[in-house]
Chain A
Amino acid sequence: MKNVLLTLLLILLGCQIATASERPSRVVSINLCTDQLLLMLAEPEQIASVSHLALEPNSSYMADKAAKFRINYAKAEELIELKPDLILAGLYNDRSLVLLLKKLGYRVEVFPLSSNLEDIRNNIRVMAELIGRETEGQRLISEMDKRLEQISRSNPTHKPRGAFYQPNGYTSGRNTLQHSALELAGWLNIADEEGVVGYGSLDLERLILAKPEQLFTSSYAPGTQSRGQLILKHPVLKQLTHGREMIEVAYKYWICGGPMITDAVEILHKSLPR
């Protein structure tokens, strides 16, 4: 009799584990970027918690929606209390935390960063599969691709030259989402011409010699002051682009790879000289 009960219990438990692996129902995300995709794809009941960064409107595209959920600070104790059946982390999350959670038997999935459109599509696909929302994932990808195609249809044949210029003279070269967005919007990225790969610094004199027609910036902390940020107000930059102000594109479109990059591409496309 005892054995039968135990078997029953085991079967019950097994069933629960089986359903859980089909579609997780208590998903916890501890990274800003997994927050974004989770909030876009999951059913609200599936989300147990998102990271506190998801509430910050400058970097979180889904900040409004995130406000409805419980937040976490990526601390082991609070995560265990949430009884998650799936934990989503990013490459930059604390490695020792991820290892600890895995050792305790939790299912932890670590998402890579995205530096181009293919990476974005991949991450959406992986996320959709993990939480059992494949159709929603497909829809998100095809909507993104459709919008991007619509934009690039009206791209000019002769591409004007532009560049991102960031505090301390940093710029975005090849293998960055900013570079992808510039190209998709019909711009030539000067940083790429100058051989910058990833995020690198571009000397002010070199930038001037490259004669950009338009400069863009994407500030991480708008409204704050520092010497590094003052360089963006150097009068030579405005003279260089014949009085055209630097265009500010919000950071939330590309701090994480996601379909929100289309919004940025749209902004960049609208700023093409007519």
Chain B
Amino acid sequence: MKPAAMNKQRLLIGLLSLLVVCLFVTSLFIGSNPLPIFQAARESLLDTPTVIGLIFGEIRLPRALIALFTGATLGLAGAAMQGLLRNPLASPGLIGSSSGAALGAVAMLYFGLGVLIPLAVPLGGVAGALLATFMVYLMAGREAGTLTLILAGVAINALALALISLLLNLAPSPYAVREIVLWMMGSIANHSMMDLWTLLPGVLLGWLMLFGTGRSLDALTLGEETASTMGISLPRLRWRIFLAVALSVGSVVSITGSIGFIGLVVPHLLRPLVGYQPSRLLLTSALGGAGLLLAADIATRLFPAGTDIKVGVLTSLVGAPFFLYLIIKSRRYQL
């Protein structure tokens, strides 16, 4: 990498990190009641925390952290998939990973397995994400054009959604049916530190596997044949990314539900800024995703108290027009 490009990349990462830190702190400040936040932070560390300490440590901190990890995971997964499939519309939401994960988590949670077996819910999410991603890949084929991939994704998403509705209708809990929206749209309200610990192992493992794929993804931009002459085993890379996306996206979706469009929008916005190089898009997309989800979650809390707006509603409101714009743009070149 040229020194100038290197500096530009460092500057971008620095700015994005700063943005994420600012949004993270802002997120801690916002709740249904104004709190003296620094005093609350200090008091949350006491052996027997005060009331405001409890609100800080058990409600606002886990919420901000879950938004951070979820947003980063979705952004990173989107960047890796777009790199692997060399397709600007590949993302966890569009090619079925998220809805598959939601289906897996629903199957575990509502039928009591989540109580019997620890980590059954996130494992269900991981399995569902892997299965859905792989099915879309099989349906679309290796050299899938944008349209084929999207169609396969639409089919798998529709199937997963139908199965989620079916399972929630069959679930013994009287509250289940009303939670369809939660799984479709995603929400990070009212989670605890326990939920964070539940999603963290899969997320960190997935990140670790994804961050190592940068060089291979760069080589892949030159075409599959060139990449394999450079010593990159494409089947291994493919499995590694599918598995890593399933691990990380499956874990977050099993806690938050599927939050749409972050994995699609963020890599797109950042791609021109990193010189269209997939390896440099990974970390920046993770930071961008975290920032976008934190911002969206802050926005949901600015609505008057009692209006329970799901965070996915806002990300979709931003993301769907963007998706349309991408389709119109790609028509000029391909269709």
Task: Indicate, yes or no, whether A interacts with B.
Answer: yes
Query: A residues engaging B (CB < 8 A)?
Result: 167-169, 201, 203-206, 208-209, 211, 220-221, 223-229, 231, 234-236, 239-240, 242
Residues in A neighbouring B51, C-beta threshold 8 A: 208-209, 211, 240
B54 and A226 form a contact (CB under 8 A): no
Least CB separation from A220: chain B residue: B174
B30 to chain A, nearest CB (A): 11
| Residue tally, chain B, CB below 8 Å to A | 32
Residues in B neighbouring A229, C-beta threshold 8 A: 173, 175
Residues in B neighbouring A209, C-beta threshold 8 A: 33, 51-52, 55
Task: Tell yes or no: B134 within 8 A of A by CB.
Answer: no
Nearest 3 Cβ contacts at the A-B interface: A224-B173, A236-B58, A228-B175
Residues in B neighbouring A201, C-beta threshold 8 A: 306
Q: Contacts A224-B173, A225-B114, A235-B194: A205 and B109 contacting too (C-beta < 8 A)?
A: no
**B 96-122 contacts with A by CB, 8 A:** 109-112, 114-115
Residues in B neighbouring A226, C-beta threshold 8 A: 109-110, 171, 173, 175-176, 179
A224 and B55 form a contact (CB under 8 A): no
Query: B residues engaging A (CB < 8 A)?
Result: 31-33, 48-49, 51-52, 54-55, 58-59, 109-112, 114-115, 171-176, 178-179, 182, 190, 192-194, 305-306
Tell which of A204, A223, A225 touches B109, judged by Cβ atoms closer than 8 Å: A225
Complex: A149 Cα to B80 Cα, angstroms? 70
Complex: A206 Cα to B51 Cα, angstroms? 10
Least CB separation from B168: chain A residue: A226
Tell which of B110, B173, B192, B305 touches A236, judged by Cβ atoms closer than 8 Å: B192
B297 to chain A, nearest CB (A): 15
A234 and B173 form a contact (CB under 8 A): no
B178 and A228 form a contact (CB under 8 A): yes
Q: Contacts A201-B306, A234-B192: A225 and B173 contacting too (C-beta < 8 A)?
A: yes
B55 and A208 form a contact (CB under 8 A): yes
Instruction: Report which residue of A167, A211, A227 has the largest number of chain B beta carbons within 10 angstroms of its beta carbon.
Output: A227
B59 and A224 form a contact (CB under 8 A): no
**15 A–B pairs (Cβ distance < 8 Å), ordered by A:** A208-B54, A208-B55, A208-B59, A223-B112, A224-B112, A224-B174, A225-B111, A227-B179, A228-B173, A228-B175, A235-B58, A235-B193, A235-B194, A236-B59, A242-B48
A168 and B32 form a contact (CB under 8 A): no
Least CB separation from B179: chain A residue: A227
Residues in B neighbouring A203, C-beta threshold 8 A: 32, 305-306
Complex: A208 Cα to B176 Cα, angstroms? 26
Complex: A211 Cα to B49 Cα, angstroms? 13
B49 and A239 form a contact (CB under 8 A): yes
Complex: A165 Cα to B86 Cα, angstroms? 50
B171 and A239 form a contact (CB under 8 A): no
Residues in B neighbouring A242, C-beta threshold 8 A: 48
Complex: A201 Cα to B46 Cα, angstroms? 30
Complex: A221 Cα to B171 Cα, angstroms? 12
Residues in A neighbouring B111, C-beta threshold 8 A: 225
Residues in A neighbouring B114, C-beta threshold 8 A: 225
B175 and A205 form a contact (CB under 8 A): no
Least CB separation from B193: chain A residue: A235
A221 and B31 form a contact (CB under 8 A): no
A221 and B174 form a contact (CB under 8 A): yes
Residues in A neighbouring B173, C-beta threshold 8 A: 221, 224-226, 228-229
Tell which of B32, B58, B110 touches A206, judged by Cβ atoms closer than 8 Å: B32
A227 and B174 form a contact (CB under 8 A): no
Residues in A neighbouring B32, C-beta threshold 8 A: 203, 205-206
Residues in A neighbouring B33, C-beta threshold 8 A: 205-206, 209
A205 and B58 form a contact (CB under 8 A): no
Least CB separation from B189: chain A residue: A204
Tell which of A225, A228, A239 touches B54, judged by Cβ atoms closer than 8 Å: A239
Residues in B neighbouring A227, C-beta threshold 8 A: 109, 175, 179, 182
Complex: A73 Cα to B54 Cα, angstroms? 49
B23 to chain A, nearest CB (A): 20
B165 to chain A, nearest CB (A): 14
Least CB separation from B114: chain A residue: A225
B332 to chain A, nearest CB (A): 43
Residues in B neighbouring A240, C-beta threshold 8 A: 51, 54
Residues in B neighbouring A169, C-beta threshold 8 A: 190
Q: Contacts A168-B175, A169-B190, A239-B58: A225 and B110 contacting too (C-beta < 8 A)?
A: yes
A205 and B55 form a contact (CB under 8 A): yes
Residues in A neighbouring B58, C-beta threshold 8 A: 234-236, 239
Least CB separation from A236: chain B residue: B58
Least CB separation from B255: chain A residue: A227
